[in-house]
Amino acid sequence: MEPEKIKVRVTETGQTLDVVVYSKRADRIEIVLGEGIHNVKCELTPTRMGLSYAGSVRGRELVYERSREQVQADLDKLNPKLREPRRR
């Protein structure tokens, strides 16, 4: 299975990076930068307005430019059973 990758932007330089998604939920996205023993995990959380996700690693700010609703829609599309109510 191929790991999911997303593009994040470094705010200082404007450079875009392809990073691997470690876990993805609407309230938090955990990403991994680098490979092997030199990898670094970073947690992206929604901004106040909910229009993007932001986090920092080693003093650099990273931004994933998708809204919370868009991420939730992606998650619903991948696994629609998560949205169905459970029986008690």
Amino acid 3: pLDDT: 87
Does the residue 20 lie in any domain?
yes
pTM: 0.84
Residue type, 73: A
pLDDT tens by residue, 9-57: 999 999 999 999 999 999 999 999 998 899 999 999 999 999 999 999 9
Based on DSSP, count helices (H) and strands (E) in the chain, helices before strands.
1, 6
DSSP string over 55-70: EEETTEEEEE---HHH
Q: How many domains does the chain have?
A: 1
- Enter the tokens of residue 56: 């920092």
Does the residue 86 lie in any domain?
no
Does the residue 87 lie in any domain?
no
Domain region containing 10: 5-81
Does the residue 88 lie in any domain?
no
Confidence band, pLDDT 50/70/90 cuts, at residue 78: confident
Residue in 51, 70, 3, 59 with CA at minimum distance from that of residue 31: 3
Does the residue 64 lie in any domain?
yes
Please say whether the beta carbons of 43 and 56 come within 8 A.
no
Does the residue 53 lie in any domain?
yes
